[in-house]
Amino acid sequence: MLVLLIILLLSIDVAHTLQCITNCSIGNFRFGEPISIPDGQCQQRKSKSDCTMSLQFRYDQYTYNAQFDTIVLPADFIYITSGPYLSYSINYECSKQTDCVLTYAQNRINEMTRRTYDANRIYGELAPFIHNSTRKGPIQCYNMRNEIIECLASEGCFLDYDQRAKKVRSRECKTYGTPTVSMYDGKSYSSFDVSCNRNLCNDDETFEQIKTIFVNNGLTDDNGRRIAAGTKEMASIFLILLPFISIIVSYF
Ligand SMILES: *[C@@H]1O[C@H](CO)[C@@H](O)[C@H](O)[C@H]1NC(C)=O
Ligand SMILES: *[C@@H]1O[C@H](CO)[C@@H](O)[C@H](O)[C@H]1NC(C)=O
């Protein structure tokens, strides 16, 4: 009887449309501070089969913030630029129950804020490969055919690498603002991008050096992909068990 009840309640729970929080941002919170929605905020809800949420961690400030929206693709995104600035963003979805995103968020926040990314050191290691502080005027870069080309004064060298296909997606001159390295790893698309203003900085050797810096600092694995979160499985097991626990508790 109890088992039947549990199965029934579980299937209701899974098939149920969720009332997801939407159109709301909260934070910044300091690392170590638990996530909480201030009273009266995030009231807007939207019916969806799964809720989504984004967390952004700033390792140059030791703060994080959260965004609730109903249209985000699950992915990890790392963005590093001069400043130094180092952000790690995580988009995820869950369909277990209303506000399951929040339960998962706290687990993921605990795990991410224990990571000891040193923004100063990491940018300091990258800068010699991507930044020429005295640069004036045009520079030389490589194109897709690995030919040396002249880029405009307003441009930098650019490389976009596909970690799944393990090949360069584009290598060219591109409008340049600041030296940046970014890594995106999503469900069906991944990219590792470098935008730099040193002569010939979008070659394979420089890219290998940058990838090594990411690996040595625990930002990505050897393939330039996100490092799987150990607590992810734990969080989903917890979420699956949660209805059982509450049923058992209310049964007795
Ligand atoms: C999002 O929320 C703001 C207020 O916080 C509101 O002005 C805006 O209309 C909302 N947007 C949508 C698409 O609901
Ligand atoms: C840096 O920029 C200066 C001025 O444009 C140039 O002379 C020099 O060759 C550049 N160095 C590198 C490594 O790109």
2 pLDDT band (50/70/90 cuts)?
Answer: low
Task: Report the pLDDT value the prediction gives residue 43, as an integer from 0 to 100.
Answer: 94
Q: Which ligand is nearest to the CA of 196?
A: 2
Q: Distance, CA 134 to ligand 2 centroid (Å)?
A: 6
User: What residues contact residue 33 under an 8 Å CB cut-off, 6+ apart?
Assistant: none
Question: Are 6 and 110 within one domain?
Answer: yes
Instruction: Report yes or no: 203 and 142 within 8 Å, Cβ to Cβ.
Output: yes
Q: How many domains are there within the chain?
A: 2
What is the torsion angle, in degrees rounded to the nearest 10, for the CA atoms of residue 238, residue 184, residue 68 and residue 177? Answer: 150
One domain, residues 137 and 191 = yes
Same-domain check for residues 9 and 105: yes
Domain CATH number, residue 172: 2.10.60.10
Q: Is 136 in the pocket of ligand 2 (CB under 6 A)?
A: yes
Q: Residue 227 falls within a domain, yes or no?
A: no
The pLDDT assigned to 234 comes to 44
- For residues 10 and 108, state if they share a domain: yes
Residue 136 alpha carbon, nearest atom of ligand 2: 5
Encode pLDDT of 108-151 as tens digits: 999 999 999 999 999 999 999 999 999 999 999 999 999 999 99
User: 141: which 2 tokens?
Assistant: 């870069």
Mean pLDDT within 72-86: 96
- Residue 231 falls within a domain, yes or no? no
Q: Is 133 in the pocket of ligand 2 (CB under 6 A)?
A: no
Pocket test for ligand 2, best of 129, 131, 135, 155 (most atoms within 8 A of CB): 135
Same domain for 127 and 98: no
Whether residues 126 and 37 share a domain: the answer is no
3-state DSSP call for residue 179?
Answer: coil
Say yes or no to pLDDT of 245 above 80: no
Residue 204 has pLDDT above 70, yes or no: yes
What is the model's pLDDT at position 222?
96
State mean pLDDT over 162-188: 97
How many H-runs (helices) and E-runs (strands) does the chain carry?
A: 5, 13
Nearest CA to ligand 2 atom 10: 135
Q: Above 80 in pLDDT, residue 1?
A: no
What is d(CA 138, CA 156) in angstroms, rounded to the nearest whole number? Answer: 9
| Residues 18 and 110 placed together within one structural domain of the fold | yes
Distance CA 103, CA 92 (A): 12
Residue 171 counted as domain residue: yes
pTM: 0.85
Within-domain flag for 226 = no
Tell me, what's the pLDDT at 71? 79
- Ligand 2, atom nearest to 198 Cα: 14
- Ligand 2 within 6 A of CB of 132: yes
- Regarding whether 108 and 41 lie in a shared domain, the answer is yes
Whether ligand 2 lies within 6 angstroms of the CB of 199 is answered as yes
Residue 231: its pLDDT value, please? 39
* Ligand 2 atom with the shortest distance to the CA of 199: 14
Residue-wise pLDDT for 11-38, tens only, equals: 555 556 888 999 999 999 999 999 999 9
- Asked which of 99-103, 120-124, 134-138, 185-189 is least confident by mean pLDDT, the reply is 99-103
Please give the Cα distance from 197 to 120 (Å, whole number).
20
Q: Whose CA is nearest to atom 6 of ligand 2?
A: 135
Residue ranges making up the domain that contains 161: 121-216
C-alpha span between 54 and 112 (Å, rounded): 13
Nearest-atom number in ligand 2 for the CA of 201 is: 14
Encode pLDDT of 215-239 as tens digits.
Answer: 999 999 999 999 986 534 444 444 4
Cα dihedral sign for 215, 167, 87, 130?
positive
User: What pLDDT score does 181 carry?
Assistant: 98
Same structural domain, 107 and 192: no
CB-ligand 2 contact for 137 (6 Å cutoff)? yes
The string of pLDDT tens digits covering residues 44-76 is: 999 988 899 999 999 999 999 999 987 789 999
For helices 2-15 and 230-251, angle between their N-to-C axes, nearest 10 degrees = 130
